[in-house]
Structure 1
């Protein structure tokens, strides 16, 4: 198995659990901040299963869904219990191990085996006071990877690091067990500020000496970018390089690989689609570009906005302006002359037009933080939604576009938008290659947009484009540099090696890892001599990053692709087998496994794989078509192609 190739010991943490002192140690000196934090969504992100913390009705209530029944009760000793009668006839009783969240829904965590916590899919609506299922339209039997007992609902892997302080996942890929630890459940003071031992020792010493740098903490929240990156550790869609929480103050791109504006996550113009947790949206905004930070709008302790309604926006968007942002046009924005709606109505709210919202987890509304002007005029080109027809559902985008054009005749609302290029790049990256390359080169555009253009260009299969965009390997933005490294897979091997060798010493881990991945296939004798040691180091960082995610089916798909690229077919088969064990509904993995079985064992071996796949995916057209093709051709003779580029 490829696991043996990439398995690496976890990196030593700069500080251990003894450096964490707990939020209670902070309250004596920081009473105002502690009072604001107490009861906040951060403080209540993960709590113990006590009667005070559990808000749901466990008075022998029941919830029935798709052949499954959940019964909620309280034992005489006060233990809250969920008894699950699954649709396959199995009944299991689970004590509630702990509680996630507080509003607008509360979820309950169940320990399905020692150390493994799973997020139960029947949750409590704290606003309506009733149970509901997170996925009411999906058929999820117990053997489905998306069932609440499956790998996508494992709290240790998917959720805990953003709901805990000082968290370490500690997954053992050989035994497939967890020995997770945390300094504190919930997002405590040290989750953002860092372990406080040094700070506490200094404070207790009552010395007249100067305090240690930044008062013993690793995050300087007076630094706007450092503060944003610290918030982004949880408020972003990303892939982790490290186990659990990176120490606060770790540069974001040393700890995570940020998700780009990809289909399924973002709409074609960059608006939110799936749950992407703010950062990728905010990076697209003019507010970020002009120097606005998270704490300009949010109280970081109470986790509330600094003002209600339009008063939050008119801190800056007003006739007097704001001296911190001299390029902002002073004007009256909170008036019908600007928003064209009845004052005080929902349509008159700045957020309604500039921060459209989508609902996730059944009832949790999240706002887009790209702060964009509504562009219904681009709907035909991008296929994206617009804030106008999100509210005026009986109207069409062309109506909204005409209304905006009439009310803003200067045309400022109809400037060219990167969304049109990204949308065409999604549809046909070859035809859009020239425009995508120009977008990637445009320094005036957000880095995440330029990086997305580079990612789309990977499918253009154009070595000429890879050559044109070599200068972006030195771009100031690490997201762009990493994406530019990925594009160099289109270059001839010798040129690729020369171009990427310098990135193996890049100051940012994400860039180094991406360069190492793209050089993985290079024969050592084609690498510059000076790059040999950096290549080994960067490859080691890639191994370490992958080893932290071996409880994700997606990781084993990546490993399978790597093994196929290396033409290590037994390792690829082992990785695909891991995928289907964890998620039996990954039909693409089953088909690749069957192709590999045909190579080594012929048609009979391939049919055996397809039979296994059809047993858990009855009636799947892709499997039926593959089997028909296999029977017609007598087996697979050519090696399977690597999966599509990520």
Structure 2
């Protein structure tokens, strides 16, 4: 969290004097949830109550930011910032360069400098040979060898989509599970279980595997997030199922029956994200369904999605709850939905 420095009365009249690109600490005190300074601050009951309320919709339980608009706070927690010279302008730019050949829409998606697209951003400091395929364990030109995807996964929410987390972390399933946060591996490998992820992280990087329950061991992580997760995780899972990198890794011919479940989600934002992702799937580009539509209209859209799905042959896959001859494990799906975390959420992006 950040608190303004200076006289509150003057700030209310004249605003915040923060020139973009300058040191944020000149205008704000930046507090990290588990820092020594914050622990001391939390001894004040009034401040502690405020932080707890703010934390619910702003931070994961381990202090990692979960919403957009606080990328600098995330960045400050990273080794790249603390031990290097990384700042916002290491990768981003305020205005598009005249010689940038990208369309304005493509550039505006993340406002990256041309020199920060893909792994070029990390290779400004890191040695390419040290972080080659022997490190990534993925093909050189695959999404799994994209530094961003492993170390800046889409675990923050904002602007009705998933945002890359700027903490620049190392994949750690145990830590992610404890914080109830999606993990980087299963955001690409949508069709794999957490047990699959735990085994690979252990084999490749000697990262301790957490204890997993039966669902986490047998059912694809993305389905668990989407059907039984809290509202934030459902939103992230819905977006990820429409993400091109995830579809390239996990195919795009099975997600529709699960995204259809979210068209009846209590949160309109989740319905909208689900519709957008559905429109990226085969045969559904022209899908029309208003998030604010009636139950009957949404029901008709769901039936249309299922009919489109039934037109294709789908291989049996227990992790995706798909049986032979296009059968779906409806009983298990309904059981997961009944276990959904319905904790009310207000994400303070």
Q: Which has the higher contact order (CA 8 A, sep 6+)?
A: 2
Greater share of helix residues, 1 or 2? 2
Greater share of strand residues, 1 or 2? 1
**TM-score higher than 0.5:** no
Report TM bin, short chain: 0.3 to 0.5
Q: TM-score, normalised by structure 1?
A: 0.23
Q: Which has the larger radius of gyration?
A: 1
